Each structure stands twice: as C-alpha cells, then as structure tokens.
Structure 1
Amino acid sequence: MVALLLSGCGLTIPTDPNGTLETVRDGELRVGVSPDPPLVVDSAGVPSGSVVALVDRFAAALDATPVWTVATEETLVGMLEEGDLDLIAGGITADTPWLERAGVSRGFTDISGADGRELVMLVPLGENDFLSTLERFLDAEVGS
C-alpha cells in the first residue's frame, strides 16, 4: 500500500531486481577482495586488514557470514557481473574504472590505511536496496 502511494507521488523505493539484500540477510555475503596492505592482507587465502574488518561488521549487521574470494580486481568484477559475488572491497578508489560494470558506493576516507584515498565498494549493477543499505552502514561506520 505504501509503495503504491509513493509510486503515485513520483518517489521510488530502492529495489534489488536480483534480490541481493534479501539473499544475503541471514545467509552468506560473498565478498571479493584484492590484496592492498594494510587495507586487505592475504594470508594463504584468509584475508585480514582494516577493510576486511569493516566488511565483517557489515556482514554481522545483516546476520550474514562473509565468504571471501581473493583475486585481481578484473577477475572479481567479472565474478560480480556473473552473480558469483555480492560485494567487492579493498583499495578501490572513487575514480575506479569499473563504473559501467558495477554499482559504486559513496566514497569514504576515515579508515586505517586509506592514507587520504577516497575508497569505495562495488556491488552488482541495479541492486539499489543492497547499495543503500551498504551506504547507510558506511555512513555510520566511516563517514562519507
């Protein structure tokens, strides 16, 4: 009912055509990272670092378990497009070349190891409810 009223007013509610937020909540958050110490450190396929800790907190906020993939950004973006990942995080900056292939969060700088860089995270294109949820979390955790 509310959605119908809002749609009549020209307002849109963020939606996820592929249901990313609904799938992740109380399930698995499939995360891709590329090594970029100290943001992401790869220790035999087990990532750590300040961005990894941030994503762990995001997963916890969704009651989700993070499942990590460590690879190059290009490989990860391909996996995101294929539906094999829900999120890419790490040393990705606001001037990322992936703008046409992924949804991009607002930038944030207030995280250990960013060294003044404006970092962003990537999500599947069109998954706007998931992206909005991520951005609200980032606003609360690291500012925007």
Structure 2
Amino acid sequence: MGRRFAALLVAAAIVLCVSGCGIRIPSDPEGTLEAVEGGVLHAGVSPNGDWVRVEGDGVSGTDVERLRAFAAALDAEVEFTVGSEEALVRGLKDGDLDVVAAGITDATPWTTDAGVSRPYAEATLADGSTASIVMLVPLGENAFLSRLETFLTEEGER
C-alpha cells in the first residue's frame, strides 16, 4: 500500500508541475492555431469536382464553404491558394499554408508530409466504391488539427 501511495504522490506532483509550466496538450510547435485565431487562415485548395471548383478568379465548393465557416469560427479571414496537391503540401511543409482541402481521401499518399484529419465526409468514387474525405495540416500542429476536427465533427452533426 505504501508504494502505491508514493506512486500516486509522484504522479500528482508531475501533473502539477506540467500544468504549472503552462504546457498545453495538444500543442502547436509552430503556433498555427494561435496565429490563425483572429488573423488569417491560409488555405490551399485543388480543383476536384464539387469539393473544390475554380471559376475565373474565385473558388467555390463544399470544402471551400467548410473552410470559410472554419475561418469564421476562428474569427479569421481566409485566403485561398489554388494549386496541385503536391504544391499545396509543399506549402504546408514550408509554413505558407495552414490547411489543404480538395476532396482528399484517407488513402492520401501525403501522410508522411502532412497531418491528416479524421474523415468528415464520404465520397462515391468512379468505380462505385466509397472513400472517406480528410483535410491536411502541417505535421505536428496538433492543437490546430484538434480544433479543425472538432469543427468538422460539429458541422457534420448539424
């Protein structure tokens, strides 16, 4: 019984020390969520059916509307960058973009280069099968990813 009590005391001390140091979990090593809140959401999009449409000098589609609503929820403006998925993932890695959306499936090859959200929608593929749709964020920006996933889940429940 004495060892168990000592272990509990040590665990409690560690929790108090960590919380006292201001460490937040999840966290963003590069501060993405903090930079976007009340600022600008830099969103990369790539044309893909009804998910993202590029028309003249504007963008539209279901993912574009989701990103606009997410930015509004963060009291942020949204700036769109249109490009190929490869160029957009490079933008995430370079710190130029905060999120990428393009009707990307959870079978994306970009999992080693970007953080991947939980699926928030389903799409029917050309062969009749279904795929889960995700968004991409910079690797390690877990507070931002968590906020995005919470938003996407809550929006899906409406």
Scaled to the shorter chain, the TM-score interval is: 0.7 to 0.9
Paired position in structure 2 for 1:121: 135
Instruction: Provide the residue aligned with 2:16 in structure 1.
Output: 5
The amino acid of 2:37's aligned partner reads: R
Q: Which of 7, 12, 16 is the aligned partner of 2:28?
A: 16
Query: Identity over aligned residues, as a percent?
Result: 50
Asked if 2 retains the 8 angstrom alpha-carbon contact of 1:45 and 1:70, the reply is no
Task: Please tell me whether residue 62 in structure 1 is matched to residue 74 in structure 2.
Answer: yes
- 1:109–1:119: 8 Å Cα contact kept in structure 2? yes
Instruction: Name the structure 2 match of 1:46.
Output: 58
Q: How large is the RMSD of aligned CA atoms in angstroms?
A: 2.0
Unaligned runs of 5+ in 2: 1-13, 125-129
Q: Is 1:73 the equivalent of 2:90?
A: no
- The structure that has the greater radius of gyration is 2
What's the TM-score once normalised by structure 2's chain length? 0.80
Amino acid at match of 1:5: L
TM-score by length of 1: 0.87
Count of equivalent residues: 136
Shift of 1:5: 2.5
Measured against aligned partners, the alpha-carbon deviations of 1:98-124 in whole angstroms (never above 9, x if no partner) come to: 0000000001226xxx33431000000
**Residue type at the aligned position of 1:53:** E
Aligned to 2:155: 141
**Matched-pair contact (CA < 8 Å) for 1:32–1:85:** yes
Greater helix proportion: 2
Give, as a single letter, the amino acid of the residue that structure 2 aligns with 1:86.
Answer: D
Residue 99 of structure 1, aligned match among 111, 114, 117: 111
SS of equivalent to 1:107: coil
Give the structure with the higher percent strand: 2
The one-letter amino acid of 2:137's match is: V
Distance 1:61 1:131 in 2: 14
The Cα of 1:7 is off from its aligned counterpart by: 3.9
Q: Whole-Å Cα distance in 2 between the matches of residues 33 and 107 of structure 1? A: 17
For 1:139 and 1:6, the matched residues in 2 are separated by: 33
Structure 1 residues without counterparts, runs of 5 or longer: none
